[in-house]
């Protein structure tokens, strides 16, 4: 799933990858180990700054990564979740700090692309905030 987070195919990216992440986190279908693996996986490189000067495919990965961050942070903050306060402090801070400045750096204003489907990085950045 992590390898296809910004897949150019909307069917793979939206319908399979992101839906699997979102359902797995929100419906607590992942184990604690998987939750940590996902958090470490999406935070292991430059995150939302990855290829920030490029549009198109790099934007897909950034914007959908922002959505995964949002889901992880929501579960981490939800007292009713089995993942409550499950993120390491360092990872929680990375997600929060990147969310605070992502929208000021993102330049790709594409909403819908006939090639990639919905991109809307600003909407996904807003979801994270």
What are the tens digits of pLDDT across the range 62-86?
A: 999 999 999 999 999 999 999 999 9
Q: What span, in angstroms and rounded, lies between the C-alpha atoms of 126 and 99?
A: 9
What DSSP character marks residue 12? I
Q: What is the largest CA-CA distance in the chain?
A: 41
Q: What span, in angstroms and rounded, lies between the C-alpha atoms of 112 and 21?
A: 22
Q: What span, in angstroms and rounded, lies between the C-alpha atoms of 57 and 16?
A: 17
Structure tokens at 78: 């939800």
pLDDT tens-digit series, residues 10-63: 999 999 999 999 999 999 999 999 999 999 999 887 889 989 999 989 999 999
pTM of the model: 0.93
Is the pLDDT score of 120 beyond 90?
no
What DSSP character marks residue 78? -
- Over the Cα atoms of the chain, what is R_g? 14
């Amino acid at each position: 799933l992590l390898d296809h987070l910004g897949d150019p195919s909307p069917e793979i990216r939206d319908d399979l990858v992101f839906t699997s992440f979102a359902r797995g986190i929100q419906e607590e279908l992942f184990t604690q180990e998987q939750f940590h693996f996902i958090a470490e996986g999406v935070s292991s490189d430059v995150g939302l700054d990855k290829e920030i000067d490029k549009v198109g495919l790099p934007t897909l990965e950034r914007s959908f990564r922002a959505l995964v961050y949002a889901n992880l942070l929501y579960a981490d903050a939800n007292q009713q979740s089995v993942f409550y306060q499950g993120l390491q402090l360092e990872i929680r801070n990375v997600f929060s700090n990147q969310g605070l400045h992502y929208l000021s750096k993102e330049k790709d204003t594409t909403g819908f692309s006939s090639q990639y489907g919905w991109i809307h990085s600003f909407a996904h950045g807003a979801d994270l905030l």
